[in-house]
Structure 1
Amino acid sequence: MKTQLSILLISLNLLSCNSTGKNSQSEQNKVFTITKITKSGFEKVGNSYKYNFTGEAQNNSVNIYDDVYTTLEVQLELENGSIITERDYDSGLMTGFGDIEKVWKPNETRKIDDHGGLDSDFIPAHYKEYKVKKVVTIFDFDTKDIINHTNNTFTDTIDVTKQWNTL
């Protein structure tokens, strides 16, 4: 009886977690969001592709971030469910420098461009041969908040599957 009660309580807890709309809640509570895309696309560089982005992001929090270092990476989800991340295609070259913003205030929108756009690392051209289900760009906002003595990384994503498929 004790085991059945434990299983019932665990099951109810798990169901309640799923029914709260965790994904939609996290979407609504993103600290930083990409609000405008000025330039977004892949370009062929030798035997690789590179993704370049210029746009704007907003600080949706109540915090002032003294430093925000924004980088991006491209992630490919294959039709078989495998996920290819930057770790899988890391070229080892000095690429993908980020954008640095100082004193980013609450509800403030800033241009993200790193003097010509944020670039991904080089993605091998043969990845185009894989059957891809979805391609996303993941933006990492590494923050330093002096007032609250915290360092956090917040993320936002944009779907670039159509751009990848048209290469």
Structure 2
Amino acid sequence: MNHLVISCIGPDQTGLVDTLSKIISKNQGNWQVSSLHRLSGFFAGVIEVAVASEHSEGLVNELKNINGLSCQIEVAEPNLPEIVSNLVLEITANDRPGIVQDVSSVIHHQSGNLIKLVSSQDSAAYSGQDIFKAKVQIAIADKSIDDLIYALEQIADDLMVDVSR
């Protein structure tokens, strides 16, 4: 059994997910995990698919030939130990260029491993100012959590971090 990590991008149009799912199903693949988005008029997605070795080549070929969609496909090692996220951070701050770089740099320098980052931009209710929001899952040694939170909060006066496990 192969595990394929598929990254796709192309101009958004109706039916792209249907097309992807039909090709995966036709080649006896099992859609495992995905994150699909419409970003500035483009469809962007990442999908993990489990597929028997004898069907991998056909699946890859069909995915790469979807009209208007560029797919990059990598074979993953399915027997690697699962990375466990032991900390979830919800970060809110005034939006500004470089904020994701600042947050990721602090996590890296505090020996954290960023597992997942989901971010958005909203308008503040009363001021209309752009607000950055992110939900971040990381793996980090328990003894480093306090230092990580302190370092994140030093990025800016307006940055707030809510922590859960």
Whose helix proportion is higher, 1 or 2?
Answer: 2
With the length of structure 1 as denominator, give the TM-score of the two structures: 0.25
Whose strand proportion is higher, 1 or 2?
Answer: 1
With the length of structure 2 as denominator, give the TM-score of the two structures: 0.25
Higher RCO (C-alpha under 8 Å, 6+ residues apart): 1
